[in-house]
Structure 1
Amino acid sequence: MMKHIFIWALALLSTQASFAQQTVNTASSTVKFEISNWSIKTVEGTFSGMTGIFNLNTNDLANSNFNVCIDAATINTENEQRDEHLKTDDFFDVEKYPNICFKSTSITKSDNGYTTTGTLTMHGVSKKVNIPFTYNNNTFTGTLEIDRTDFGVGSDGGFMVGEEVSLEIICVVK
């Protein structure tokens, strides 16, 4: 009997360990974005420097959560002059707002994977967003669209810079 209890306890511990909080693999994680420029061209870029915690237990979504940030100064559109301008107070103001963060409030199962709802904070503004995502091989892949002006990013962009930004979040956990 004692042997069975020991085996059951060991199995329980190993199951709980597999659902333990994980950290973001900063080197492998990125946020890709696309935005229109001059209404005729699309600018693509990335952010890196993602850090935070990732706690996803597909058997217990109510107790799962994410708290992840990216370094706003890592913006890269493969145009150094544009990237430096995007870092200024005309757009991201990275000296004042160095991080873009997401903190989940809920995670639910969906037809194509999952959806997380939470608070996206950028440029000192916090908004509730929903991010549909999949999770395979320790990789969270989510997509969403935001209006950059809702966050006060590049408010004076006028017709030169589109308002809608498409984001793809790739978060690898370890």
Structure 2
Amino acid sequence: MARFDAYNSECLLFSFKDGLLARLAHDLKLQVERFSIEADDTTHQITATFDPSSIQVVCARIDGRDDRSTLSKGDKTKIYDNVTKDVLRTRKHPEIRFDSTHVVERGDGFSVEGTLQMYGKSRNLQTSVRPDGDRWVAELKLHQPDFGIKPYSAALGALKVKPDILVRVSVPRQS
């Protein structure tokens, strides 16, 4: 059984600005700092849990690139509070869980289907896992309203986050 966590792997979230005042906002790169992923070496079954209260703001993104100088510590704290208290309500929903239901080798990677439990809802999803150097990488788009999550919005909706976020999980390839 292969086990992964924030010490040897990473889970990144990318959110994207929207609305009439989007030019005043920032696309964001966030990181989940507490999670556990287990993958059975024989069956390839995957179980993963993520602590949404451990999401931290890494940086703003401008034109698809990291910009580590734009956000102040105060900005990051305010964003963290909005994400954990208002959007994800982590006190009421303290865990995000994924359980694979079907894993199939596809070329040099895998096709993974499973159930994601988040915000009191369960949804089936599918993603591909591909090699990237010495890592396995999975990326998927999550539509927040599918889980009953209302994306962040301010200024009467003139400033908001798009409903789709990109999730990127990277774990080391086992030798």
Q: For this structure pair, what is the TM-score category when the shorter chain's length is used for normalisation?
A: 0.7 to 0.9
Deviations 1:22-44 (A, max 9, x none): 22243122211112123544222
Deviations 1:81-131 (A, max 9, x none): 11012111x211111111111110011122451111000111111110112
1:116 is the counterpart of 2:101: no
Task: State the number of aligned residues.
Answer: 148
Name the structure 2 match of 1:134. Answer: 130
- Does the 8 A contact of 2:5 with 2:34 survive in 1? no
The alignment-based identity, stated in percent, is 16
- Identify the structure with the greater helix proportion: 1
| TM-score, normalising length: structure 2 | 0.74
- Does the 8 A contact of 2:151 with 2:162 survive in 1? no
Name the structure 2 match of 1:56. Answer: 41
One-letter amino acid matched to 1:162: K
Deviations 1:135-156 (A, max 9, x none): 5788431011110111122356
One-letter amino acid matched to 2:46: F
User: Which stretches in structure 1 are left out of the alignment for 5+ residues?
Assistant: 1-20, 58-62
User: Which stretches in structure 2 are left out of the alignment for 5+ residues?
Assistant: 59-75
One-letter amino acid matched to 2:54: T
| RMSD over aligned Cα atoms | 2.4
One-letter amino acid matched to 1:37: K
One-letter amino acid matched to 2:78: Q
One-letter amino acid matched to 1:65: Q
- Does the 8 A contact of 2:14 with 2:165 survive in 1? yes
Name the structure 2 match of 1:82. Answer: 79
Query: Mapping of 1:98-113 within 5 angstroms?
Result: 98-111=94-107, 113=109
Q: Distance in 2 between matches of 1:171 and 1:126?
A: 24
- Does the 8 A contact of 2:99 with 2:115 survive in 1? yes
| TM-score, normalising length: structure 1 | 0.74
- Does the 8 A contact of 2:11 with 2:168 survive in 1? yes
CA shift in 2, pair 1:93/1:151, >3 Å: same
Structure ID, larger Rg: 1
One-letter amino acid matched to 1:36: F
- Identify the structure with the greater strand proportion: 2
Q: Distance in 1 between matches of 2:107 and 2:32?
A: 29
SS of residue in 1 equivalent to 2:79:
helix
Name the structure 2 match of 1:7. Answer: none
Q: Distance in 2 between matches of 1:163 and 1:98?
A: 21
